[in-house]
Amino acid sequence: MTSSEIAKNRIENLKKWFDNHSIPTKDKSVISRAINGRMPVGERLARRLEKENGMPDMYLDSKSSELVSIDSKEDYSISSINFSLISSVAHLHSEVQEVIKLIQFDAVKAAQIFHNIPSSTLKILNITGDSMASTFNSGDALFVNTSVVNFEGDGIYVFSYGRGIYVKRLQLIKDAILVISDNKAYKEWEINGDAIDDIIFYGKVMCSQSTQLRWHS
């Protein structure tokens, strides 16, 4: 996104926000001039306005089409990944399971928690096994950004390779991708050369939460 596009987004999103929220007295002049294009909304001002007015992180910089409607009365629903619909391969090994099929959040809170990622591109799944122990426990719910369909920097990905579906930390090392289990009992392995083209990325893990129940009676 170019600097001129970001500047335009900041003005549009500032106006949209304060169409539905009260303008704080101390910033009334600044916000009025910014909305009317009489002063630029720089990086420091944008981040301060977001923080002090309860906007989600990077709200002002986002394209309007990418924003979750924070004033919507509808819930923000996240469904699970149905691997049987997106892959015809019979997998012999899988590190995911379907425990939670659908989870819903208040739209306002979801915009803040998930940084305005549309619910249509966010999916939930549960990890199984101990290969990522120390980061995830077996059964933890993972929130996966399915708009990431290629390697986009080091991080934890859900992907298939050969006859397996994996949840692993991936790291680019020269011309190879290093596949890392956070549980040190498991050895690292590499995917290199033309074999990299055989990786099918289902998404990048954004965050997780425990599904362990705490019984009180």
How does pLDDT run along the chain (217 residues), one tens digit per residue?
688 888 888 998 888 888 777 788 888 899 988 888 888 999 999 999 988 887 777 888 887 655 555 444 467 899 998 776 666 567 789 999 989 989 999 888 888 888 878 888 899 999 999 999 999 999 999 999 998 999 999 999 999 999 999 999 999 998 999 999 999 999 999 999 999 999 999 999 999 999 888 899 8
The pLDDT value recorded for residue 210 is: 92
For residue 77, the surrounding DSSP H or E stretch is: strand 76-79
Residue 169's SS3 state is strand
Distance CA 214, CA 217 (A): 10
Residues in CB range of 4: below 8 A, 6 or more apart: none
SS3 of residue 66 by DSSP: helix
Q: What are the chain's domains?
A: 3-66 (no CATH), 76-209 (2.10.109.10)
* Residues in a beta bridge with 157: 168, 204
Q: Coil, strand or helix: which one is 197?
A: helix
Query: What predicted TM-score, i.e. pTM, was given to this entire model?
Result: 0.67
C-alpha torsion sign, points 138, 144, 146, 150 = negative
